[in-house]
């Protein structure tokens, strides 16, 4: 099932700074087991995460649009645009520059897909992930100049 991204207006959308504060607060919590699996096939890299029920995770900032699949589960997702609840299975487009915080209502499996021939995880992270918003802005400004 494909889903259109409609965000709730019941909750004021957080700023970038608020999302980073949330990430810092979540980092202070006892660590939760969120198993990762990595898949490579035909120039595609897939990173799959299992989020246990009741766990909050804060995602990374992607430099590029990518496919994002919720293969199973029920999760509320908070971004700068607001909150939406997603139930798998569904396929979404993860827009570049969007940081997401998610609360899993039930065990949820999320997979991001990226086109790359690279198989070194550190190099993939450097290619597709901005460590913070400042780095993202520098990257986007350089990209706009080329």
Is 1 inside a domain boundary? no
Domain presence at residue 9: no
In a domain, 6, yes or no: no
Task: Report pLDDT digits (tens) over 90-141.
Answer: 999 999 998 899 999 999 999 999 999 999 999 999 999 999 989 999 998 9
112 belongs to a structural domain: yes
CATH number, domain at 131?
2.60.120.10
Read off the pLDDT of each residue in 70-78 and give the average, rounded to a whole number: 96
Domain count within the chain: 1
Residue 10 belongs to a domain: no
Q: Is residue 103 part of a domain?
A: yes
What the block records as the tokens of 124 is 């993939």
Contact present, 114 and 124 (Cβ < 8 Å): yes
Q: Which two tokens stand for residue 72?
A: 């199973």
Give the domain range for residue 51: 16-145
Q: Count of alpha carbons within 13 Å of 66, Cβ hemisphere only?
A: 24
Q: What are the pLDDT digits (tens) for 89-103? A: 999 999 999 889 999
pTM of the model: 0.83
In-domain check, residue 11: no
Find the range with the poorest average confidence among 5-9, 75-79, 88-92, 100-104.
Answer: 5-9
Residue 87 domain-assigned?
yes
State the DSSP code for 13: P
């Amino acid at each position: 099932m494909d889903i259109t991204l409609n965000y709730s207006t019941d909750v004021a959308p957080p700023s970038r700074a608020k999302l980073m504060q949330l990430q810092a607060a979540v980092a202070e919590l006892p660590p939760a087991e969120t198993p990762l699996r990595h898949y490579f096939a035909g120039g595609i890299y897939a990173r799959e995460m299992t989020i246990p029920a009741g766990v909050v995770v804060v995602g990374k900032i992607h430099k590029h649009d990518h496919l994002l699949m919720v293969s199973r589960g029920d999760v509320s997702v908070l971004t700068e645009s607001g909150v939406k609840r997603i139930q798998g299975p569904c396929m979404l487009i993860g827009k570049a520059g969007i940081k997401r915080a998610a609360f899993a209502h039930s065990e949820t499996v999320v997979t991001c897909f990226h086109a790359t021939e690279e198989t070194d995880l550190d190099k993939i992270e450097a290619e597709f992930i901005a460590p913070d918003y400042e780095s993202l802005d520098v990257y986007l400004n350089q990209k706009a100049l080329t």
